[in-house]
Chain A
Amino acid sequence: MRNILAVAGKELRSYFHSPIAYLVMAVYAVLCGFFFYSFAATYVVQTFRMQAMGGMGMPDMSINDYVIRPLFQGVLTIVLLLVIPLITMRLYAEEKRSGTIELLLTSPVTDFQIIAGKFLGALMLFGTMIVITFAYVSTLFIYGNPSAKPLIAQGVGLFLFGASLLALGMWISTFTKNQIIAAVVSFAAFLMIYVLNWVTAYSSGAIGKVLAYMALTTHFEGFAKGVVDLKDLVYYLSVIALGVFLTARSVEALKGRV
């Protein structure tokens, strides 16, 4: 555990020593802030309009459905497709480029400890984004009365969604010495699995179903609605485990064991 924390601490320090952490956080904060403001403003305008028309027997528009859900499901998941590669691109690529991979792999730590440490470090940086998101969303509690329970599910969902991408991005980063290549390939791969469920539009067979099931977005649906389904939870945890496993295989291959 001490080794994992040592590596995680090193990763986190590297992020904050370089402009990456600030860039990523700023990009996220600006995008998240802009969309949050847009949704909230639209919501305010809409509700005023509804009130002016006397409600017309329509049910109340809930903040959760009209602001928080579209923000999480429609926007933040896409922002993460862009931002997560920036976090993961350096994890292994930079170690390979600078030769420090030799230090890590000749130290008395297991590959898993290194991988877990790196993942944890990246996860902590990503965690700051969740915090930023909730900083925005929490203002709704001052001016409105959103219900907190679905919000928790959405937060957990976004965290798992991001963590899955982190694990896959880390794996992709093991293949190259070049951070830019790692970032571009990661983004392309993320985009692919993001839209994988589109195949159901033209393929209704077993393959279509399987592909749709594998899509990251399919399993975000439940969380977005405010429901934590065990099935979705297992899916995201499996993707994380797969990413870690593939990273371990790839690091093993670096040593010429495969």
Chain B
Amino acid sequence: MIEVENLTKRYGPTLAVSDVSFQVQKGEILGFLGPNGAGKTTTMRIITGFLSATAGRVRVAGIDVASSPLEAKRHIGYLPETPPVYTDMTVNEYLAFVGRIKGVARGELKKRVGEVSEKCAIGDVQHRQIGRLSKGYRQRVGLAQALIHNPDILILDEPTAGLDPKQIIETRELIKGLAGQHTVILSTHILPEVSKTCQRVVVISKGTVVAMGAPDELIARLQGYGSVLVTVEGPAPEIMSRLQTVTGVNLVEPVNASGTRITLEVHTEKNHEVRSELARAIVESGWGLFELKTSGMSLEDIFLKLTTRDLSEEAAAEARPAKAQEPEKPGETEVSN
């Protein structure tokens, strides 16, 4: 439904987006994940035709955005980071205006305004001036605006930014409800949002795509990077040097020791399942194995890993990748540009 090929955007000497390619299937919700300033908004603006690309191509519903922008725009509903509302209009006036410029037929306009108002739960404020509405309502008016012409594709730039927790949950539910009939791209720098709403994730950092896949898949793929926690009864130095020899193990570190039992954290290489080998090594040496478990990486850890440095060099250089850095608090509001 949406095909982005080798998209590049320069602002003067700065490279905002560099060679980004991805595809979105019909009816899918794609999460666009990245830290602030990674190029999410720029990419979305290019898809919607607000900005032109320096190089590369975007096609929506098979239509090239750059060469036939009007046709493409008919298929897209777009909610920018700040809802593009006219504060001096009432909700109904605003939706009617947007409907008109989005090409909703005159006879259908009233019906469509009613439908999207109901869908976005803004029926109770339809005669209120938008400038007097709360942030949550404005956001929903923005979403209603994006839906007014019943587009196949929805581009939502940080749809939950600045909302309170209850509104965030409501908005997520609303977006989830849109999947199937609409193809959705939603950007966010808030991680739980992605695992809760999206079927697929594109992680972008400094203008380039660093990872792509289903949230679970991403976690699974990177699981190998995580570490295994082993609790063993036996002589600590010997255990550590023995475990170090197991193939796929990078580093063994003691976490804590109580009496004769020690808990070790075993860092492993990528995609290397070492648990059975570890168990065998311990048991064959005659020590007591009490616990063996992966300390799974959360999406947050993965996000940090992906966006802070290159994967391969990280695996080699970083000894304690997941635990060493305190993950940034998700959900912090960003300064809007």
- Contact indicator per residue, chain A 70-105, by CB within 8 Å of chain B (1) or not (0): 000000000000000000000000000011111111
Pick the interface stretch among B22-30, B84-92, B252-260: B84-92
Which residues of chain B have C-beta atoms less than 8 A from A99's C-beta?
Answer: 80-84
Given contacts A10-B86, A14-B86, A99-B84, contact A106 B78 (CB under 8 A): yes
Q: How many residues of B contact A (CB 8 A)?
A: 33
Which residues in A have their C-beta under 8 angstroms from that of B50? 102, 105-106, 255
**Selected contact of A6 from candidates B80, B81, B97, CB within 8 Å:** B97
Are B86's CB and A107's CB within 8 A?
A: no
Taking CB atoms and an 8 Å cut-off, the chain B residues in 149-191 that contact chain A are none
Which chain B residues lie closer than 8 Å to A101 at the CB level?
84
Given contacts A6-B101, A99-B84, contact A257 B93 (CB under 8 A): no
- Docked Cα-Cα span, A7 to B101, in Å, equals 8
Q: Is residue A144 contacting chain B, with contact meaning CB distance below 8 A?
A: no
B204 within 8 A of A: no
Contacts of B97 in A (CB 8 A): 6, 9-10
Chain B neighbourhood of A6, CB < 8 A = 97, 100-101
User: What is the bound-complex CA distance between A100 and B74, given in angstroms?
Assistant: 18
**Contact partners of B198 in chain A: CB under 8 A:** none
Beta-carbon contact of B73 and A108 below 8 Å: yes
A106-B86 contact, Cβ under 8 Å, with A6-B101, A256-B11: no
User: With A102-B78, A106-B48, A108-B102 in contact, is A17–B89 under 8 Å at CB?
Assistant: yes
Q: Are A98 and B84 in contact (CB under 8 A)?
A: yes
Pick the contact of A3: B9, B85, B101, B145 (CB < 8 A).
Answer: B101
A109 adjacent to chain B (CB < 8 Å): yes
Q: Judge whether B55 is part of the interface by a CB distance below 8 angstroms.
A: no
Chain B residues whose CB sits within 8 angstroms of the CB of A110 once the complex forms: 70
Cβ-defined contact, B93 with A256, below 8 A: no
Which of A98, A103, A108, A255 meets B145, CB within 8 Å? A103
Closest A residue to B16 by beta carbon equals: A256
Which residues on B sit within 8 Å (CB–CB) of A107? 73, 98, 101-102
In the complex, what distance in Å separates the CA atom of A163 from the CA atom of B97?
A: 25
CA distance A109 to B69 in the complex (A): 9
The interface residues of chain A lying within 8 Å CB-to-CB of B48 are: 102, 106
Tell me if A139 is interfacial: C-beta within 8 Å of chain B. no
**Is A145 on the interface with B (CB-CB < 8 A)?**
no
Closest A residue by C-beta to B87: A98
Q: Is B114 in the interface zone, CB < 8 Å from A?
A: no
Among residues of A, the one whose C-beta sits closest to the C-beta of B103 is: A108
A18 interface contact, C-beta 8 A: yes
Nearest-CB residue, chain A, relative to B145: A103
Q: Is the interface of A mostly helix, strand, loop or mixed?
A: helix
Q: Mark A14-32, 1 if CB is under 8 A from B, else 0.
A: 1001100000000000000
Query: Is there a chain B Cβ closer than 8 Å to A231's Cβ?
Result: no
Query: B250: CB under 8 A from chain A?
Result: no
CB neighbors of A among B45-97 (8 A): 45, 48-52, 54, 70-71, 73-74, 76, 78, 80-89, 93, 97
Q: Is B87 a contact of A13 with CB atoms below 8 Å?
A: no
Residues of B close to A102: CB separation below 8 A: 45, 48, 50, 78, 80, 84
| B74 closest partner in A (C-beta) | A108
**A13 and B78 in contact (CB under 8 A), knowing A3-B100, A6-B101, A103-B84?**
no
Which residues of B lie under 8 Å from residue A257 when comparing CB positions? 52
Partner of B51, one of A2, A18, A100, A256: A256
List 19 contacting pairs A-B, 8 Å CB cutoff, sorted by A: A6-B101, A7-B101, A14-B88, A14-B89, A17-B89, A98-B86, A99-B82, A99-B84, A100-B86, A103-B78, A103-B80, A103-B145, A106-B50, A108-B101, A108-B102, A108-B103, A109-B70, A256-B9, A256-B54
Interface residue ranges, A against B (CB under 8 Å):
2-3, 6-7, 9-10, 13-14, 17-18, 98-110, 255-257
In the complex, besides A98-B84, A107-B101, 6 extra interface pairs with C-beta distance below 8 angstroms are A6-B97, A17-B89, A100-B84, A108-B70, A108-B102, A256-B54
Listed in ascending order, the chain B residues whose CB lies under 8 Å from chain A are 9, 11, 45, 48-52, 54, 70-71, 73-74, 76, 78, 80-89, 93, 97-98, 100-103, 145
* 10 closest residue pairs by CB, A with B: A103-B84, A17-B88, A6-B100, A108-B73, A100-B84, A106-B48, A99-B82, A102-B80, A107-B101, A108-B74
